[in-house]
Copies of this chain bind each other. A is one copy, B any other.
Amino acid sequence: MNEDKEVQLDDTDRKIIDLLIKDGRMSYADIGKELDLSRVAVRTRINTLIETGVIEQFTCIVDSEKVGRKVSAFFNVDCEPNSLVEVAENLANNPFVASCYQMTGPSTLHTHVLADNFNQLESFINNELYALKGITRVDSQILLRRFKSRTGFKL
């Protein structure tokens, strides 16, 4: 919570953001029509949102199962406290790891992993994760069902 990070946005900015979260490729013209703005005004505002860091990135959401990544797993990685940052940086560099967070609560790393299948997951666990120094215990869980997965924000 960094108090001075907030950027002042007006209602139009917020409406543009909402439209782009829903469709990141929406054209300036279509946004302008929707909000009664000129194409140029929309472009200027979007550029400002990008420059001030409000919009971090345009991206697309891929159905991981359709590209063959069929197992979505979540790991609580318990670390020796003085190895936590090093373990986290190792995990962040691993291509199977989609996200890695430090939270309050136990001295654990919240880690999300995508694998093609169970054999690959087992190999990731035994050969890559468990091989890291400073890990004391790992708890793994497999995704059963998504009830909500809102786009536009990172955890």
| Interface size bracket, A side | 35 or more
Q: Is the CB of B1 within 8 A of A70?
A: yes
CA distance A145 to B130 in the complex (A): 15
A-B contact pairs, 24 of them (CB 8 A): A1-B1, A24-B25, A55-B60, A58-B60, A59-B59, A59-B60, A61-B153, A62-B153, A69-B153, A80-B136, A81-B132, A81-B138, A88-B147, A91-B148, A92-B148, A98-B155, A99-B146, A103-B143, A103-B144, A104-B142, A105-B139, A106-B137, A106-B139, A149-B154
Encoded as 1 (CB less than 8 Å from any B CB) or 0, chain A from 50 to 72 comes to: 00111111111111111111111
Q: In this complex, what residue of B is CB-closest to A82?
A: B130
Task: Check if A140 is an interface residue, CB within 8 A of chain B.
Answer: yes
Min CB distance A26 to B, Å, is: 8
